[in-house]
Structure 1
Amino acid sequence: MKVVVVGGTGLIGSKLVEKLDEHGHEAVPAAPGTGVNTLTGEGLAEVLQGASVVVDVSNSPSFEDDAVMEFFRTSTTNLLKAEAEAGVPHHVALSIVGTDRLEENGYFRAKLAQEKLIKASGIPYSIVHATQFFEFAKGIADSMTEGGTVRVPAARIQPMYSDDVAAALGRTAVGAPLNGMVEIAGPDAFPFDEFIRTSLAADNDSRTVVADPRAPYFGSELRETSLLPGPDAQIAATRFTDWLARRK
């Protein structure tokens, strides 16, 4: 099976390509560095020739509200048009748990717009909603730091390992289209401050972490369950504490 992975040179994409190759599939990374640009359409027709599945894990180079919306609208529109012309029978996209609950967040709003384009395209599809990745803890902390204090929302989070994200995407890609959405998450839910505090401590980072009900999450006010998956989510195996221990 030929699987084209858009964004295939990034964190998730490179892991997905490796896993698909290990299982005997022809995984083709598609990114500007490989001559494929979904914003301009360059290389799309060529790379999609003979593809059984396209998995889109691409991301905007800018998280500014207008820029991220323009990226996902343009990239997804070009990609879906090229897939229709090539007769690709399955489109898989990686999205985020909570996109439908946090529309005041510009990034989540752009991902929701992407999902709507996919659903309206007429191409059989599967959308995978993942919780945040373990690897993002430091970046999240940095965005919420004031002086030496990290102020995080008084909410809960159920993060997961990027390898498990890639594995779930691989299973979805080689399966039948869902024409719907599946949620994936890590095995444990934590108070947001505990997740960040534990991660920083593992890196010997001395910043103080405080749970603040008024602290925004990239511009959004969170409820306790805003970032948590529903009861039917697929639960990955890797625990956060085990992942931290293996990094040492």
Structure 2
Amino acid sequence: MRFAVIGGTGLIGSQVVRKLNAAGHEAVPHSQSTGVDIISGQGLDEAAAGADVVINLTNSPTFDEASLDFFRTSMDNLLAAAEKHGVRHFVILSIVGVDQVPELDYYRAKALQEDILAAGPVPYSIVRATQFMEFMDATLSWTTSGDTVRLPATPLQPIAAEDVSDAVAEVASGNPLQGIRNIAGPDVFPLDELGRITLAAHPDGRSVVTDNTAGLFAAVQGDVLTARPDAHIAPTRYTDWLA
């Protein structure tokens, strides 16, 4: 099969391209660096032409309200190109629990992206993943002040990017789900504990203080960002990934 991987040079996209090509498919990465602009539409006809499957792994450059316009415009453009060129399957990567946190602009934008895809003209699959292990350093930096990191005790179930790319490649290679596949790492941690584990493995002089008002995840209520009962559980444990 031939895959057009939009955002195919990023963290997940580059791995998906590698895995699909290794499996004997033809996966072509597309991004701004290859001349594809999903907002203006430049290069989309060329990217979609001849593709059996479009995988959209692009992300908004901001996490604020502007992300709504980004996903609305980009999905409209991509779906139009996919329909025009007879694409048979359209796949996106989303977030477990994304529709349960309306307080966050970015989560509302990702939920909108899902809704646009589900209402669109192309058979589809949505892969929802829990928080990436690779994003933990950024999460710590958001709420660092001096030597103190303030983190809420929000339950998270981190997953390795390698496992996410495996799931995306598997779903994209199959028949359209016309629905959602949830994927998650094997272990649940309160975010503050996850921060302490991270800094114990790679000490840099900082320490974690529990503060349930701090940072992006303070808006999350309960365990909505952890695996649903139907989730596929990935094998990589956070402590092994850290090591």
1:39 aligns with 39
With normalisation by structure 1, the TM-score equals: 0.94
1:197 CA drift (Å): 1.5
1:230 CA drift (Å): 0.5
Secondary structure at the aligned position of 2:175 is classed as coil
Distance 1:206-1:224 versus aligned 2 partners, 3 A rule: farther
Could you give the per-residue CA deviations for residues 79-115 of structure 1, whole angstroms, max 9, x where no partner exists? 0111011110100000011211111101101101111
1:150 CA drift (Å): 1.4
Could you give the per-residue CA deviations for residues 35-63 of structure 1, whole angstroms, max 9, x where no partner exists? 11111111111111111111111011222
1:214 aligns with 213
AA partner of residue 225 (structure 1): D
Give the unaligned 5+ runs of structure 1.
none
AA partner of residue 2 (structure 2): K
Could you give the per-residue CA deviations for residues 176-203 of structure 1, whole angstroms, max 9, x where no partner exists? 1000011100011112112112112322
Residues of 1 paired with 2:68 and 2:221: CA distance?
24
Residues of 1 paired with 2:59 and 2:212: CA distance?
29
1:53 aligns with 53
2:78 aligns with 79
- Alignment check: 8 A CA contact 2:95 2:130 kept: yes
Residues of 2 paired with 1:22 and 1:9: CA distance?
16
1:244 aligns with 242
2:230 aligns with 232
2:89 aligns with 90
Secondary structure at the aligned position of 2:98 is classed as coil
1:224 CA drift (Å): 3.1
Matches within 5 A, 1:132-147: 132-147=131-146
Matches within 5 A, 1:185-200: 185-200=184-199
1:216 CA drift (Å): 4.1
AA partner of residue 226 (structure 1): V
AA partner of residue 208 (structure 1): S
State the aligned residue count.
243
AA partner of residue 29 (structure 1): P
Residues of 1 paired with 2:220 and 2:211: CA distance?
11
Residues of 2 paired with 1:148 and 1:216: CA distance?
16
With normalisation by structure 2, the TM-score equals: 0.96
2:15 aligns with 15
Secondary structure at the aligned position of 2:58 is classed as coil
Secondary structure at the aligned position of 1:100 is classed as helix
